[in-house]
Amino acid sequence: MLKINDTWMKDGFITSKGKKKFSFPDKEIYPGFTDSHTHLIQLGLKKSNLGLSGVKSKKELFKKLSIWIKNKSSKDIVIAEDWDESNWIEKEFPTKEELNRISRNKPIILRRVCGHIAIANDAALSRIPRGWEQINYSTGILKEVVVLKLNEIFPPSNQKLREAILLAQDELIELGIVSVHDMMIPDYFRAYQSLEREGKLKLFIYAFITEDYLDEIKELISSKKVKLAGIKIFMDGSIGARTAALQDYSYNSNGKGLLLKSKEQVQKLIEFANKNGYQLAFHAIGDLAIQTVLSGMEKNPKENPRRHRIEHFELARDDQIKEAVQKRIILSMQPNFLKWSKPGGLYEQALGRNYKRNNRFASILDEGGIITFGSDGMPYGPLNGLEHSTSAPFPSQKIDRKQAIKLYTEGGAFASFREKELRRLEKGGKGDLVVVDKDSIYITVINNKIEYLRS
Ligand SMILES: [Zn+2]
């Protein structure tokens, strides 16, 4: 564990008001936290959209919406978030006709709290390129992938992207986060760098570009605070949606999920990445998806010098944990997902008896595995993840506070080739750190400057 040494205490932290000394007799001090799996822009865009979570009736919703769209032009797409009809008097979805009455020419989309369903008015429907099966044009209901990809169907302006980053950045720094491994598209990468050039970017951004943009990746050049890591690849879906690809497990509904790539495709990607110096992050949740990555990595050098990783690694079997350890694959996992692992919870509903064998952090560490912790934004907050992993429902998942902190600090540093920076900090050099007061963040320091101080 890091101790703040004499150099640090003597200098004090540099604040905007000059130098100031702090001492923390009853608090814990750690290197700043890394969240190893984030979607920062989505968080920021969501924060800048109209939020509907507190709404109690349709009438209230329409009133809020009318005020919100007043100053918008018909060019702007209006997205409102987090409605939940179960909290309303009417207990029914809003309709396309109702939204048409709010506006005929301004495009409006209301995204439900689950993130899998949305309602659009005719102006919005007419702007969505044709060819999506998940759109019902007569009811205006959008489902699944089309809802998830709204930010790509209606790309936000550069200005909006920049605002989104700054909004999300503030929230993450308050949570003690100083660096993120962020999943993104090339436009986002450029927006981060434009803020860096203006001195507004505080977080360190380690960027994984979605595989759909493989052609553009060569154009992206790392800078000091925005480093290109490599490519994010989807091998399967999620347990909640019954789309994680299963082999030994199966869904209560009898399905086995959906594998999105073959072993040969994984092999090709590995070859391409090793040749060009990219790190790969494979989203793989089910044991079939995990096995396909492991098998596809047969010819990867045994030290795994590019530090290729598997994101989530939720339903790994014993033999797969051993194989991943032996292949030195970085396992990028989310302790906050344990919220679905409680008896009677989402994972038991989906998987039945076998559900307990998920997210086995303790088993993986016992085998000598390399884990880094992140959140996938559900929700953000290392202290929340820490709470989940130290009070996990099953012994194979449960780790202690010290181990969990390590996975949020050293884990993230190693996964992004930044272990040297951490060593410099330990020797008293400039760096990022976080002061934790019981269960909340007291101070976040980035590059020796206080960026958050709890009031
Ligand atoms: Zn994700």
**Other CB atoms within 10 A of residue 190 CB:** 14
Q: Does residue 135 share a domain with residue 253?
A: no
Does 96 map to a domain? Answer: yes
Distance 411 CA to ligand 1 centre (A): 18
- Of the residues 118, 153, 188, which one is the last residue of a structural domain? 153
Of 164, 203, 208, residue with least CA distance to 180: 203
Q: Does residue 241 share a domain with residue 149?
A: no
Distance 378 CA to ligand 1 centre (A): 9
Q: Does residue 245 share a domain with residue 149?
A: no
Residue 325's CATH number: 3.20.20.140
pLDDT digit string (tens) for 346-377? 999 999 988 999 999 999 999 999 999 999 99
Name the token pair of 18.
């000059």
**Confidence tier at 11 by pLDDT (50, 70, 90):** very low
Residue appearing with tokens 């302006």: 157
Of 216, 188, 238, 231, residue with least CA distance to 350: 238
Distance 53 CA to ligand 1 centre (A): 23
Name the token pair of 324.
């991943």
Does 430 map to a domain? Answer: no
Q: Does residue 242 share a domain with residue 386?
A: yes
pLDDT digit string (tens) for 309-341? 999 999 999 999 999 999 999 999 999 999 999
Distance 206 CA to ligand 1 centre (A): 14
Distance 22 CA to ligand 1 centre (A): 37
Distance 203 CA to ligand 1 centre (A): 18
Distance 175 CA to ligand 1 centre (A): 19
Predicted pLDDT at 7? 40
Neighbours of ion ligand 1 (CB under 5 A): 376
- Of the residues 132, 153, 174, which one is the last residue of a structural domain? 153
Domain range for 314 is 235-399
Distance 376 CA to ligand 1 centre (A): 5
**Confidence tier at 220 by pLDDT (50, 70, 90):** very high
Does 215 map to a domain? Answer: no
Q: Does residue 362 share a domain with residue 265?
A: yes
Q: Does residue 145 share a domain with residue 280?
A: no
Distance 374 CA to ligand 1 centre (A): 10
Does 382 map to a domain? Answer: yes
Distance 183 CA to ligand 1 centre (A): 7
Q: Does residue 368 share a domain with residue 259?
A: yes
Distance 231 CA to ligand 1 centre (A): 13
Does 421 map to a domain? Answer: no
CB 168 within 8 A of CB 202: no
Does 187 map to a domain? Answer: no
pLDDT digit string (tens) for 25-65? 778 888 999 999 999 999 999 999 999 999 999 999 999 99
- Of the residues 399, 429, 447, which one is the last residue of a structural domain? 399
Residue 52's CATH number: 3.10.310.70
Number of domains in the chain: 2
Does 126 map to a domain? Answer: yes
Q: Does residue 388 share a domain with residue 247?
A: yes
